[in-house]
Chains A and B, each alone.
Chain A
Amino acid sequence: MNMSFLDVFPRLEGFDVDRHLQAATPADVERALRRDEQLDRRDLLCLLAPAAQPYLEEMARKARQLTLQHFGRVISLYAPLYISDYCSNACTYCGFHAGVDFPRTKLTLEQIEQEAAAIAATGIRHILVLTGEAPAQTPMSYLTDTVRLLTEHFSSIALEIFPLDEADYRTLRQAGADSLTVYQETYDRETYKEVHPAGRKADYVYRLQTPERGARAGFRALNIGPLFGLAEPRREAWLAALHARWLEEAFPDVEISLSLPRMTKAAGAIPPRYMVTDKDFVQFMLAWRLFMPRLGITISTREAPAFRDRLVHLGATRFSSGSKTGVGEYAVRSQEAAPEQFAVTDNRSVEEVAAMLRRSGCQPVFKDWELV
């Protein structure tokens, strides 16, 4: 019988995170910071606590040192490729959810080819494929064809699609996909139920166990994370990191990464219940790095250029660049404005981001590895 994160999760869920966050003292934070050996979940909590805010600089120095040791002066670049915005879910926070009325698009294989060529022309070799959740529009055959096509252009193919069974993941793995991205959105079950009222996504447990299924199916890398803004952020950060560590221990040969997508106050949209400030964002990143020195940290173009540039020295290991978050925006219908899942704030081209990285003393890496 396979072990699952669900075996340990209830204990973590039941922990009174808020009380311990408030109770953390400067002495607790200092103790966590001074530790030479691996930090435990209590240390992580202290580093995520308000009490740790005056210690950000010290955390940053230590985090930077660890990042240098484990990752060197290298940032990996990738680009997202939205191939279909059909979606049957009703996630209240998403621009693509079933209730939003806009003409949905799904790219044909020829169009995917065009998009891929356009992206590859910028130097990108790691691609992230995204779809909404609409198995009817994007069945397995479509997905495997897409993956196979993309292997012609890219050395690493990551998938951020709807959760699948292990068998389907294995099929996609065999077609050439190597990485899996799936965000839990929120680890808080109550909130999860609220914001996912309908569709397959309403199944909390199935989603929670998705990364494990991917690992068992043979994916080499897993990228997880909460969508900050839905539930209390510090607790989300704590649970997400514990999920990451569990995965790291359960699947030692898989690269684990965390992301920090955060909701912003966009015009017309429902304002997020919780705002994560830049300071909080950095604190979470640094705490994660100290908790898991080998953790990948992925930053998307949701974040502003100036902020992203700073993150280079704070433990980020992967950046998206030159991103278009609307279906067909790279080539097929680059003239029109396609509906976007989220607003891209960092609109710099791949070359501009690469140049920024070099100026910061980093090497942008387009091709980290490829499956042979």
Chain B
Amino acid sequence: MSSRMGTQWSCSVLLEAVDVTEYRKTANDALLLGGVRFSSRLLTGTGKFASRELIAPMLAASGSEMITVALRRVDPKAGEQDILRYIPPSVQVLPNTSGARTAEEAVRIARIAREAGCGDFIKIEVITDNRYLLPDNAETLKATELLAKEGFIVLPYMMPDITVSKQLHDAGAAAVMPLGSPIGSNRGLEMKAMIKRIIESSKLPVVVDAGIGRPSQAAEAMELGADAVLVNTAIATSSDPVMAGKAFALAVQAGRLARLAQLAEEQEYAQASSPLTGFLR
């Protein structure tokens, strides 16, 4: 089983070694987004794949339960099939508003996506900086407020900023998605320090989105305390996206378990007054 065969896995023997579903069964540690439970903390994306045929096997291998899609004008010459066909029904589609340069455009795309039957989830991505593809926090905040009022489950992609993070919470977002590093850069957690602070202060789940290039970076984000990560480029552009999907899934689990162990350790000594030296008072 060593050669690639279209949608087949390249090294199924290796992949059998750790069962992703085993972990999912033990999920008392479910991710809650907008009231919906997810047992996987790895969100993925459909962009940049060499072939759309790889999306379904990648989802199966990684166990990812939410995947982003974009909305574009149809190209009469392209004759492409609708991407939704490639996504299994059990996986939540997360439309993003990529292409929007203003809050109004983002809102419009969100409404279209919902009308098209995608459900209430929407990832707000408003980018005015085309050099680094950095999100516009102000427009994102505006869009969040408008869409939250319309009952969307809003996941805003944002430039890490504690103040904006709090404002997004107040505006009704269901999570915050600070970027790790610019989209496609694969530079990992360049924004580590800020992300850490957001995690510490956020009342909402934190999903680190963009820039995660290696599974170890995904693990690192989870160890920092992120609730989930979104990985698109690194998986899609891998020479074996199916294996990459599995690698990232394992990394996310490892990082999450490490975080839970760390929290258990802190819990040991978490009391109202000083636990270690309290007896000296």
Contact = CB atoms under 8 A, between A and B. Distances in A.
Contacts of A310: 279
Nearest to B274: A57
A-B pairs, top 9 by smallest CB distance, nearest first, are A60-B276, A57-B274, A56-B277, A279-B280, A60-B277, A57-B277, A310-B279, A278-B280, A313-B276
Nearest to A55: B277
B276 A61 contact: yes
A224 interface: no
B115 to A, nearest CB: 53
10 contacts: A56-B274, A56-B277, A57-B277, A57-B278, A61-B276, A64-B276, A282-B277, A282-B280, A310-B279, A313-B276
Contacts of A278: 280
B276 A314 contact: yes
Contacts of A56: 274, 277, 280
A130 B275 CA distance: 37
Nearest to A60: B276
A56 B278 CA distance: 9
A245 B269 CA distance: 31
Interface residues of B, number: 8
Nearest to B279: A310
B111 to A, nearest CB: 49
A275 B280 CA distance: 15
Contacts of A313: 276
Contacts of B279: 310
Contacts of B277: 56-57, 60, 282, 314
A279 B279 CA distance: 9
Contacts of B276: 57, 60-61, 64, 313-314
Interface in B254-281: 269, 274-280
A314 B277 CA distance: 8
Interface string A309-333: 0100110000000000000000000
A354 to B, nearest CB: 21
A310 B279 CA distance: 8
Contacts of A314: 276-277
A64 B269 CA distance: 11
A177 B213 CA distance: 55
Contacts of B274: 56-57
Interface string A274-300: 000011001000000000000000000
Given A61-B269, A310-B279, 5 more contacts: A57-B278, A60-B277, A61-B276, A313-B276, A314-B276
Contacts of B278: 57
Interface in A48-95: 56-57, 60-61, 64
Nearest to B278: A57
Q: Which of B274, B276, B278 has the most CB of A within 10 A?
A: B276
B266 to A, nearest CB: 9
A316 to B, nearest CB: 13
A47 to B, nearest CB: 14
B35 to A, nearest CB: 36
Contacts of A60: 276-277
B253 to A, nearest CB: 24
A313 B265 CA distance: 13
B63 to A, nearest CB: 33
Nearest to A61: B276
Contacts of A64: 276
Nearest to B268: A361
B262 to A, nearest CB: 11
A307 to B, nearest CB: 8
A64 B276 CA distance: 9
A282 B279 CA distance: 11
Contacts of B275: 57
A116 to B, nearest CB: 37
A126 B280 CA distance: 31
B234 to A, nearest CB: 30
Contacts of A61: 269, 276
A310 B280 CA distance: 10
A56 B276 CA distance: 9
Interface in A247-291: 278-279, 282
Nearest to B276: A60
A325 to B, nearest CB: 26
Contacts of B269: 61
A92 B275 CA distance: 39
A361 B274 CA distance: 19
A61 B277 CA distance: 9
A61 B278 CA distance: 12
A310 B275 CA distance: 10
A314 B279 CA distance: 12
A282 B275 CA distance: 14
Nearest to B280: A279
A154 B61 CA distance: 56
